Chains A and B, each alone.
Chain A
C-alpha cells in the first residue's frame, strides 16, 4: 500500500510536490530570463547614449576611446561572410554524406561523427592558434579577413554539420522510398526533397554558428588581427567587433564607454541576424508545407 500512496494524486503531499516542481521550473526560467535582461539593461544603461548614426559611420579615434566603429563593423561582417560562404556548402555536403551515404552504425560515419564532436569541443584559442599557423603562416594569407573567416568556418562547421544532419535524418524514410518509387534519381531526391525539408535545420545550424562566430575573440586576434582601418579587400587585416570590445576594456584606459556602446551594437546585430534567420526558416517551412 505504501508504494501506491506516492502516486495518489488527490493526496495533499502529491499536490504539494506538483506545485513545488512547477515553482522550481518557473524560478529557473526566471533566473535565465533575468540574467539576459540584466545584461541587456546594463549595456543599455552604459552604452545607449553613445550609439548613434555617427558612432556607426565614423572611424575610431584615440585607440577607440572616441570616434566610431565603422571599419570594425565592416570587418566583422566581411569575416562573417567568408565564414558562412565557406562553411555552409561544406557543412551541407558533409551532413548529406553522413545522413544519406553512410549507415548510422557504419565505421566511416562513426569516425566522421567522432571527429566532429571532438572538433566542436576544441577551445577557440586553440582554433585561433591553428588558424594562425595554417592560414596565416603556412598558406601565406597573413593577418587577413580571409584567414579569420576561414578559421571561424573551421569553428562553426561541427555545429552546422550536426544540426543539418539531424534535420536530414528526421525526414521520414517513406519520403525517400516514395521518391525512388517515382523513379527519381538520388541527386534529384536530394535537391528537390531532402534539402528543402532540411532547410530549417540548416538555417538553425547557421544561426548557432553565426552566434558563436560573432562573439569570437580568441580565434580572431591571431588571424584577422588588430588593424582598425577600413578594410579594402579580403586580404587586409581587420579588427572584429569582439576583439575591439576586448581591447577597449582590457588594454585602453578610458575605453570603457565605447566598449559598452560596441557591445550594445554587437547584441543588436545578433538579434537582427537571429530575426532574419527565424524569418527565413519560417518561409522555408511554409513553402515546403504548401508545396507538399
Chain B
C-alpha cells in the first residue's frame, strides 16, 4: 500500500516535470487583488488566441506586484494605482480605470458631504452623524488596510496621513468594505465605484455619495470628471518585448473591453 503510494507520487512528479518541460512560454503576473480577476480573464482569452502561451496570475497586493516585477519574480506586476515617483524606473501601462467613491449605509439620511466634512470624519473630529445633518448616532469609520492602493489614493486626494485616521474598522478588499457598511447603518467607508454601483443595484443597502457635486458613476470616471479615480496598471521592469509586449498590447485593446466592463471597471480610451 505504502509502496504503491510512493510510486504514484514519483510517477506524478515525473509526469509533471515532462509536461512542464514541453510547455510553451509562461508569463507570470502577480500583484493587486483588485486587478487580478480582470487580468486572469484577459489571460484566458489571450491563451485561446495563442495556444502556446500560458498566463499564470497570482495575487498579493499592489506593493507585491511592483516588488515582484522589479526582482524578476514575475514577468508583469499588477498595481491598482499609477506608479509613484520612486518607481519611475519601471514601465507602467494602464489597462483600465477604477473610481473610488464614499459609501454610506442606504438607511443613512445624509445625502452629501463636503470634502472638509469627510476629512473631519476620518480624522475623528466629527464623531456623530447629527453634526453633518444625519440622525444622531456614533459614526463608524471604515478604513482600508495599509498597503492597499485604495487607501493611498484616498489619502492623496484628501491630503491625509495614514497614521492620523481614526478608524473603527480596518478592511482589506472592496467586497469586505461593502459588506461592512451594508451591515452597519452608522458606517462610512470608501470602495471601488463600479463594485458599489453594482451592489447597490443588486439591492445591497449601500449608497454612493457625490464628490464635489459630481455623481460617482462609471460614466464620470470614463470621461475623467470624477476626482477620485485610479488607473489599473501593468508593470514591467524594462520596456516589454516579445510575448509580454503582445499580452500588454492585448490587455489595452478594444478586444477586452467587455471583460473590463464585466468586472465593473472602466475601459481606457486609446
Contacts and interface: CB of A to CB of B under 8 A. Distances in A.
B59 A227 contact: no
B3 to A, nearest CB: 11
Contact of A247 (B19, B23, B37): B37
A254 interface: yes
A245 B6 CA distance: 32
B9 to A, nearest CB: 5
B175 A222 contact: no
B20 A235 contact: yes
> In terms of DSSP, what is the predominant structure of the interface of chain A?
loop
> In terms of DSSP, what is the predominant structure of the interface of chain B?
helix
A99 B144 CA distance: 49
B13 to A, nearest CB: 6
B176 A221 contact: no
A142 B28 CA distance: 10
Contact of B176 (A63, A143, A226, A250): A250
Interface string A186-230: 000000000000000000000000000000000001100111110
A10 interface: no
A152 to B, nearest CB: 15
Nearest to B60: A222
A258 B145 CA distance: 26
Interface string B67-85: 0000001000000000000
Contacts, number: 90
A234 B198 contact: no
Interface string A42-78: 0000000000000000000011100000000000000
A250 B59 contact: no
Contact of B56 (A85, A227, A252): A227
A221 B37 CA distance: 14
A251 B12 contact: no
B40 A253 contact: no
A232 interface: yes
Contacts of A85: 5-6, 8-9
Contacts of A237: 56, 58
B36 to A, nearest CB: 6
B247 to A, nearest CB: 15
Interface of B: 2, 5-6, 8-9, 12-13, 15-17, 19-20, 23, 28, 33-34, 36-38, 40-41, 44, 54, 56-60, 73, 172-176, 194-195, 198-199, 202, 262-264
Q: What 5 pairs across the A-B complex have the smallest Cβ distances?
A: A233-B16, A63-B37, A250-B173, A234-B16, A253-B195
